[in-house]
Copies of this chain bind each other. A is one copy, B any other.
Amino acid sequence: MDTTYINGVNLGNWLVLEKWMNPALFDGTTAEDEYYLPTQLDPAVYEARIRTHRAEYITERDFATIRSWGLNSVRIPVPYFVFGDRPPFIGCVEELDKAFNWADKYGLSILIDLHTAPMSQNGFDNGGISGVCKWAQLPDEVEFVLTVLERLARRYGRRDALLGIEVINEPNTTASWDNMNVTERYKAVDPELAEGTGPIAFDWLEDFYVAAYHRLREQGGLPQSKAVVFHDGFDLYRWKDFLDDAKGFVNVIFDTHQYLMMAEIVGCPQTVEGYDGFVKGTYAPMIEEMSRRFPVIVGEWCLFNSVGCGVDTHGGQSVLNGEEGAAAETLSPQEKRDLYQGVAKSQLEAWSKGHGHYYWNYKLLTDTVNTPGWIGWDAWDLGRCIAQDWYPVGHR
């Protein structure tokens, strides 16, 4: 495998929508997620919004910018309908094709991340349909996802820029289900559709990963020089011995997502020292230990935390979850800079025990000035972090 340390950023909300990052796309609807958006719009209007969004949100210019920040890779979340075979959703291989050409020109690698599955693998808004988590129980849809992976491998497997393919983002397992509190935090619009929603078992997930690996390498023809990436289902230690069982896997990477808001949920104190201590005491040793077993990347993380928001966000909940947000900044610009530079430094040090990281996210359209409740949420936006000297740019 490529031993280059990954210094990357996610292109989230481009091909997989998240309402909180892009509220205008959801204007005039009550939809909270990608699944319900087309049910509330005229098809031509839906198409116009989606196509305009995709043509504007990420362009050649952004690849030039990312490169200028000294980064070397982008992780691109794609939906299960990437090939356009699941109406009313609109496929996006043309956009992905363009991204590979931009990556070639600007010297970036691409990790394709299958971010959603039909009836969802996690029940999050970003899983496509809030409050529903049933994909793993639907054998036809599991098979469908495997065919998507195969087709991605066939189409992009021999592109120089391809770093690898992540088989499914954030499966919500028995390890994470209770903490994530999905059924409360993301209310299902249609309780009938949500019936049977529940966590994914690790045994099942292991079997799925084995199947996905073979489908990618064999049917998909994914060269061994390209990584197969597995998300850890929110428990990295759980995979300790997974690759030992004479599976013959080559070039596998484990992806773990670590957010300070999740640290807060498990009791990390909401102070600068608290964050620093948690990162050094929990994240760093975990990545160091597991990196002896397999390459580990932190495929999602960011500087966001409750201190920067000026309120306890109860695990990163926003006005969209009924939380209020601060009415005004509680920190001075200098205090914000100190806070974010501090958590950037400690996290980047922790990630350096592994194989690399991707910031979540490159860009947010969230407006902290003209819409109430969003103070502190700009820390999710790497562009704004760099513009405000919160995040260290290696390049200059």
| Interfacial residues, chain A to chain B (CB-CB below 8 A) | 22, 24-25, 27, 42, 44-45, 48-49, 51-53, 55-57, 59-61, 64-65, 67-68, 97-98, 101-102, 104-105, 363-370, 378, 381, 383-384, 386-389, 396
Q: Select from chain B the residue with minimum beta-carbon distance to A65.
A: B387
Partner of A45, one of B48, B64, B98, B364: B48
Which 9 A-B pairs have CB atoms at the shortest separation, nearest pair first? Answer: A24-B55, A48-B48, A68-B387, A52-B52, A64-B387, A56-B56, A45-B48, A101-B369, A98-B370
| Identical chains in the assembly | 2
| B51 engages A24 (CB within 8 Å) | yes
A227 to B25, CA, bound (A): 37
Query: With A98-B369, A387-B65, A387-B68 in contact, do A48 and B52 touch (Cβ < 8 Å)?
Result: yes
Q: List 20 A-B contacts (CB under 8 A).
A: A22-B56, A24-B51, A24-B52, A24-B55, A24-B56, A27-B51, A45-B45, A52-B52, A52-B53, A53-B56, A59-B365, A60-B369, A61-B365, A61-B378, A61-B384, A64-B388, A68-B386, A101-B370, A102-B369, A396-B396
Query: With A24-B55, A55-B24, A381-B61 in contact, do A67 and B102 touch (Cβ < 8 Å)?
Result: no
| B384 engages A64 (CB within 8 Å) | yes
Q: How far is the CB of A194 from chain B (nearest CB, A)?
A: 30
A389 to B53, CA, bound (A): 28
Partner of A49, one of B48, B60, B364, B387: B48
| B98 engages A60 (CB within 8 Å) | no
Q: How far is the CB of A385 from chain B (nearest CB, A)?
A: 9
What are the residues of chain B within 8 A of A45 when measuring CB–CB?
Answer: 44-45, 48
What are the residues of chain B within 8 A of A68 when measuring CB–CB?
Answer: 386-389
Q: Select from chain B the residue with minimum beta-carbon distance to A382.
A: B61
Most buried by B among A48, A56, A64: A48
